[in-house]
């Protein structure tokens, strides 16, 4: 009588078989169908271990998967790798932009999670919905390529750029994914699995009002700078006049002091991503300082300092601007 059970061998998980006749042909396949239509057996090796024989897989057994063991072509057992019961602890920590109103040509949203997530589920578990709950179909760029940061805690979502770009068939035929004056919500389902395969502690959503088009360059020349006093640690603050992209904002602004030395300190992005401030690590020196903006800094609609999202070749205002950083000089008072 052959007995089959989960076991360990040589420090690895294995399936242990006892009571086998010598030379028996043992095969393991995932699933419960013994025949499995000519599918190859699971890769691994059979090793003699004490009185039994152990199947040690080349690729680890997966939780939640059933394995069918056949001996000489006859199903001998089905073993199920149970999924450990783990509490839901991961949650959405932020959805950005945080602005209450976004332009109807909004390009990008970010969702931050408290722990690493599983890839491949975003399309299933994240959607844009109208106020009455109906899904705004075709609004988010469908993608096999989900845009995660390296630790799988920040997900970037793009609205379908083909529907935002003027002159393209998609835009002409389907129009903007969002409509001015029609609020929408970004909804993250509770079922979105984290990296452990466990759902979120709770779903999350953020509601937005939708304004008109935003087609202008990001223009540092129009920013309002609040200049700190020399000898203090007051922040230098800049207000943009419109919300900018959170991801880019966090890396596209820098302050330098006399001699071009970078000023270190604590950066804070203001409410609704409409402002930015730097609290210096040391008191402000007198003398010339600069706020430097990278040309790739974008607003919510993908317009940057150097170029608008889609350029009307007949419009002089749409001409690309210099691809070099823009500097705003200031002197601590």
Partner 1 sequence: MGEFGLRRGRADLRSAGPITFGPAGILFLADNVAAKVFAVDVADPGPVGGSEPFDLEDVDARVGSFLGCEPGDVVIKDMAVHPLTHSVYLSVQRGHGEAAQPVLVRIGRLEGAVADVPLEDVPLAEVAIGDAPAEDDERLDITLPLGEEGEELQVGERKIRILRQPIRTSTVTDMAYVDGVLLVAGLSNEEFSSRLRRIPFPFRDKAAGSSLEIFHVSHGKWETAAPIRAFVPYDGGASILASYTCTPVVHFPLADLTHGGKAVGRTVAELGAVNQPLDMVSFVQEGQEYLLVANSAHGLVKIACRDIDGQLPLTEPKEPVGVPRETKDLQGIRRLAHLNGSHVLVLQCDDAGRQHLRSLKTASL
Asked if 229 and 285 touch (Cβ cutoff 8 Å), the reply is no
Query: What mask of x and - would describe binding to partner 1 in positions 13 to 42, judged by CB under 8 A?
Result: ---------------xxxx----xx-xxxx
Asked if 86 and 196 touch (Cβ cutoff 8 Å), the reply is yes
Q: Are strands 52-57 and 12-18 parallel, antiparallel or unpaired?
A: antiparallel
Cis preceding linkage at 139, omega within 30: no
Q: Which is nearer to partner 1, 63 or 333 (CB)?
A: 63
Supply the minimum distance, in Å, between the C-beta of residue 113 and partner 1. Answer: 11
Q: Which residues contact 330 (CB under 8 A, 6 or more apart)?
A: 225, 227, 236, 289, 290, 291
According to the binding rule CB under 8 A, does residue 7 interact with partner 1? no
Q: Which is nearer to partner 1, 216 or 230 (CB)?
A: 216
Q: Which is nearer to partner 1, 179 or 251 (CB)?
A: 251
Q: What secondary structure letter does DSSP report for 145?
A: S
The three-class DSSP label of residue 52 is strand
Neighbours of 73 (CB within 10 A): 9
Supply the minimum distance, in Å, between the C-beta of residue 333 and partner 1. Answer: 25
Instruction: Name the token pair of 50.
Output: 């004490």
Query: What mask of x and - would describe binding to partner 1 in positions 217 to 236, judged by CB under 8 A?
Result: --------------------
Among the listed ranges 125-133, 199-207, 225-233, 300-308, the one in contact with partner 1 (CB under 8 A) is 300-308
Asked if 295 and 325 touch (Cβ cutoff 8 Å), the reply is yes
Query: What mask of x and - would describe binding to partner 1 in positions 241 to 280, judged by CB under 8 A?
Result: ----x-xx-xxx-x-------x------------------
From candidates 221, 259, 314, 322, binder to partner 1 by CB under 8 A: 314
Q: Which is nearer to partner 1, 108 or 289 (CB)?
A: 108
According to the binding rule CB under 8 A, does residue 322 interact with partner 1? no
The three-class DSSP label of residue 3 is strand
DSSP 259-291: GGPBPPEEEEE-GGG-EEEEEESSPPPSS-EEE
Q: Which is nearer to partner 1, 21 or 58 (CB)?
A: 58
Beta bridge partners of 148: 155
Q: Which positions from 132 through 161 interact with partner 1, judged by CB under 8 A?
A: 138, 141-145, 147-151, 153-154, 156, 158, 160-161
Q: Which is nearer to partner 1, 10 or 23 (CB)?
A: 10
Instruction: Name the token pair of 77.
Output: 């057992």
Instruction: Name the token pair of 219.
Output: 């223009």
Query: What mask of x and - would describe binding to partner 1 in positions 40 to 79, judged by CB under 8 A?
Result: xxxxx------------xxxxxxx-x-x------------
Q: Which positions from 157 through 186 interact with partner 1, judged by CB under 8 A?
A: 158, 160-163, 165-170, 172-174
From candidates 117, 128, 218, 300, binder to partner 1 by CB under 8 A: 117
Can you tell me which residue has the tokens 């001015």? 180
């Amino acid at each position: 009588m052959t007995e089959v059970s989960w076991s360990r061998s040589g420090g690895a998980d294995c399936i242990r078989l006892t009571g086998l006749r010598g030379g028996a042909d043992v095969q393991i396949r995932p699933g419960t169908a013994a025949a499995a239509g000519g599918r190859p057996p699971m890769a691994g090796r059979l090793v003699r271990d004490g009185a039994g024989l152990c199947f040690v897989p080349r690729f680890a057994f997966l939780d939640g998967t059933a394995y069918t063991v056949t001996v000489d072509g006859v199903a001998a057992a089905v073993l199920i790798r149970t999924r450990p019961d783990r509490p839901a602890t991961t949650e959405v920590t932020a959805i950005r932009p945080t602005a209450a109103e976004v332009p109807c040509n909004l390009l990008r949203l970010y969702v931050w999670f408290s722990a690493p997530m599983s890839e491949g589920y975003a399309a299933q578990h994240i959607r844009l919905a109208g106020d009455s709950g109906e899904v705004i179909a075709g609004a988010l760029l469908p993608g096999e390529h989900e845009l995660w940061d390296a630790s799988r805690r920040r997900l970037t979502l793009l609205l379908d750029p083909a529907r935002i770009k003027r002159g393209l068939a998609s835009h002409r035929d389907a129009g903007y994914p969002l409509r001015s004056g029609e609020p929408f919500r970004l909804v993250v389902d509770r079922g979105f699995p984290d990296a452990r395969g466990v759902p979120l502690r709770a779903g999350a959503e953020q509601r937005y009002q939708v304004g008109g088009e935003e087609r202008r360059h990001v223009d540092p020349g129009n920013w309002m700078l609040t200049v700190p006093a020399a000898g203090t640690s007051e922040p230098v603050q800049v207000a943009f006049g419109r919300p900018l992209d959170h991801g880019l904002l966090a890396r596209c602004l820098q302050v330098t002091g006399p001699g071009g030395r970078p000023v270190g300190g604590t950066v804070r992005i203001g409410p609704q991503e409409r402002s930015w401030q730097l609290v210096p690590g040391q008191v402000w020196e007198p003398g010339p300082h600069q706020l430097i903006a990278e040309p790739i800094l974008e607003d919510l609609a993908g317009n940057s300092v150097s170029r608008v999202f889609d350029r009307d070749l007949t419009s002089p205002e749409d001409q690309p601007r210099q691809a070099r950083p823009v500097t705003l000089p200031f002197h601590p008072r």
